């Protein structure tokens, strides 16, 4: 089996994978980073969203081998260095932007991706950006509020 190496949340990791192993599988099963969730099989729900070289991707839609040599960031890498919640994470808690928590890692990663590109998104821009992330619990109302609050704080 081929070996794949990448940097995940700042740490260099490597492992053997099959050609068909998805990045999401490698993160969950190979690295035990189970914060990245699998909610569908058609790259629609976004629960598996991670950042690869700074861009949000659906890790169920990328082979592990395609991420060879890449910088990958997952939900486990979003807290502050001291372990406290990062600004976006804290905003989700403050504004009740999550309920069952299953879509949450993908939502946080998608929100970080948006705010990196647009520091002051409108409600419509936030909603449009979340088009590829499905939440069944919150009705998105508080997710939108959380992202607006994070944007305000990040300036």
Partner 1 sequence: MPKDHGIGASPKRREDVRFLTGNGQYTDDINIHGQSHVHFLRSDVAHGTIRSIDTSAAEAMPGVIRIFTSADFEGVGGVPCGWQVTDRFGEPMQEPKHPILAEGKVRYVGEIIVAVVAETLEQARDAAEAVVVDIDELPAVIDMKAALEDGATKVHDDLPGNLCFDWGFVEENRDAVDAAIKGAAHVTTLELRNNRLIANPMEPRVAIGDYNASNEEHTLYTTSQNPHVIRLLMGAFVLGIPEHKLRVVAPDVGGGFGTKIFHYAEEAFCTFAAKAVNRPVKWTSTRAEAFISDAHGRDHVTRIELALDKDGKFLAVRTDTYANMGAYLSTFAPSVPTWLHGTLMAGNYTTPLVYVNVKAVFTNTVPVDAYRGAGRPEATFQLERVIDKAARELGIDPIELRRRNFIKPDQFPYATPVALEYDTGNYDATMDKLVEIADIRGFGKRKAESAERGKLRGLGINCYIEACGIAPSNLVGQLGARAGLYESATVRVNATGSISVFTGSHSHGQGHETTFPQVVAEMLGIDESQVDIVHGDTSKIPMGMGTYGSRSIAVGGSAMVRATEKIIAKAKKIAAHLMEAGEEDVEFADGTFTVAGTDKSVAWGDVTLAAYVPHNYPLEDLEPGLEETAFYDPANFTYPAGAYACEVEVDPETGKVDVMSMTAVDDFGNVINPMIVDGQVHGGLAQGIGQALLEACVYDDDGQLLSGSYMDYAMPRADDLPSFTVDHSCQTPCTHNPLGVKGCGEAGAIGSPPSLVNAVVDALSEAGVTHIDMPLSPSRVWSAIQAAR
Residues near partner 1 (CB under 8 A): 18, 20, 28-29, 33-42, 44-45, 47, 74-76, 78-79, 85, 89, 92-94, 96, 98-105, 108, 123-124, 126-128, 130-131, 133-144
DSSP 35: T
Q: How far is the CB of 48 from partner 1 (least distance, A)?
A: 11
Rounded Cα distance between 115 and 93, Å, is 17
Instruction: Decide whether 6 or 142 has the Cβ nearer to partner 1.
Output: 142
Rounded Cα distance between 56 and 149, Å, is 21
Q: How far is the CB of 30 from partner 1 (least distance, A)?
A: 12
Instruction: Decide whether 69 or 137 has the Cβ nearer to partner 1.
Output: 137
Rounded Cα distance between 36 and 58, Å, is 10
Rounded Cα distance between 73 and 54, Å, is 8
| 66's tokens | 């395609």
Instruction: Decide whether 14 or 34 has the Cβ nearer to partner 1.
Output: 34
Q: How far is the CB of 64 from partner 1 (least distance, A)?
A: 14
Residue closest to 65 by CA, chosen among 17, 99, 109: 17
Instruction: Decide whether 69 or 139 has the Cβ nearer to partner 1.
Output: 139
Residue carrying structure tokens 């890498």 = 77
Q: How far is the CB of 151 from partner 1 (least distance, A)?
A: 15
């Amino acid at each position: 089996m081929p070996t794949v190496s990448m940097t995940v949340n700042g740490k260099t990791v490597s492992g053997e994978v099959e050609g068909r192993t998805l990045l999401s599988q490698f993160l969950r099963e190979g690295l035990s980073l189970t914060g990245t969730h699998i909610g569908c099989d058609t790259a629609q729900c976004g629960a598996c969203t991670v950042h690869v070289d700074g861009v949000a991707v659906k890790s169920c839609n990328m082979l592990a081998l395609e991420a060879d040599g890449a910088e990958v960031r997952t939900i486990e890498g979003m807290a502050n260095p001291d372990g406290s919640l990062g600004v976006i994470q804290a905003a989700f808690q403050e504004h009740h932007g999550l309920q069952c928590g299953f879509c949450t890692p993908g939502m946080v990663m998608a929100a970080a991706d948006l705010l990196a590109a647009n520091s002051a998104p409108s409600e419509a821009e936030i909603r449009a950006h979340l088009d590829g992330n499905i939440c069944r619990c919150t009705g998105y109302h508080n997710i939108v509020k959380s992202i607006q609050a994070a944007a305000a704080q990040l300036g």
